[in-house]
Amino acid sequence: AQSVTQLGSHVSVSEGALVLLRCNYSSSVPPYLFWYVQYPNQGLQLLLKYTTGATLVKGINGFEAEFKKSETSFHLTKPSAHMSDAAEYFCAVSDLGGNEKLTFGTGTRLTIIP
Amino acid sequence: DAGVIQSPRHEVTEMGQEVTLRCKPISGHNSLFWYRQTMMRGLELLIYFNNNVPIDDSGMPEDRFSAKMPNASFSTLKIQPSEPRDSAVYFCASGPGGGNQPQHFGDGTRLSIL
């Protein structure tokens, strides 16, 4: 079975600083990878996804992530944090075999310090 | 376009009562997922449907939980009888099908069992 590890359940950064949220997956076959964001009292929204092709993918709100097969990682970054980025972020990996089940990480709560 | 619509947004009921959560997926989406989110266990997939057929219900906690999808535009998740440990936020998500496609989440139903 797939597993996803998000290092750091809580991350705090200053406004304007670099955001780095870490995600590692366990799979011998490159899966499809997703980052979702959850704001309070809302459902999850897709930030970005990697399926095939370019390993650096850009998403909404200035976020991007890089798929690194050798490191089995898919870390999420944003060059300059904004107060509105405060939320919980989830990394997810598709099930092997192409079915639609997603395995989610435990989430990272991002706090922005003014 | 309308997203995934869940009702009710909040439900408070007493232990032993039947609870029915409802979901209207995005039109044209073939797959529908029910998740449960708690602080202790994170985001758990309960069941998912493809073309109205249950594909994987291995996440359904026990026989008290049941889910149906009578047509492409409606699904229910029922708990009978409800217990305090069922208190959680329940999300419905839909997707167009395929492991490389993202899931689209509703805003959830916050369920409290007293």
pLDDT digits (tens, 9 = 90+) for B3-29: 999 999 999 999 999 999 999 999 999
- Candidates A103, A46, A107, A52; CA nearest to B48 is A103
Give chain B's contact residues with A (Cβ, < 8 Å): 4, 31, 33, 42-43, 45, 48, 50, 55-56, 91, 93, 95, 97-108
Angle at A91 between CA B23 and CA B25, to 5 degrees: 15
Average pLDDT, chain B: 94
B51 pLDDT band (50/70/90 cuts)?
Answer: very high
Q: Are A95 and A28 in contact (CB under 8 A)?
A: no
Looking at residue A97, its pLDDT comes to 63
CB A93 within 8 A of CB A25: yes
Output B75 or B39, whichever has higher pLDDT: B75
Q: Tens digit of pLDDT for each residue in B75-104?
A: 999 999 999 999 999 999 999 987 788 999
pLDDT of residue A96: 65
pLDDT of residue B62: 85
* Residue A50, H or E segment: strand A44-50
Q: Provide, as residue numbers in chain B, all residues whose Cβ is less than 8 Å from the Cβ of A36.
A: 105
User: Does the distance separating the beta carbons of A45 and B105 come in below 8 Å?
Assistant: yes
Top-confidence range, A20-29, A80-89, A100-109: A80-89
* B44 to A7, A91, B38: CA distances (angstroms): 19, 14, 9
Q: B40: Cβ–Cβ under 8 A, 6 or more apart, which residues? A: none
Nearest CA of chain A to the CA of B45: how many Å? Answer: 8
Nearest to A94 among B31, B55, B99 (CB): B99
Choose among A34, A52, A98: nearest Cβ to B102: A34
Q: Is B98's CB within 8 Å of A98's CB?
A: yes
Measured distance CA(A100)–CA(B45) in Å, rounded: 11
Chain A residue with CA closest to B96: the answer is A100
Mean pLDDT of A69-92: 96
Residues of A with CB under 8 A from a CB of B: 31-32, 34, 36, 41-46, 49, 51-52, 90, 94-95, 97-102, 104, 106-107
DSSP, residue by residue, A11-32: EEEETTS-EEE--EEE-SS---
Q: Find out whether B24 and B73 touch, Cβ atoms under 8 Å.
A: yes
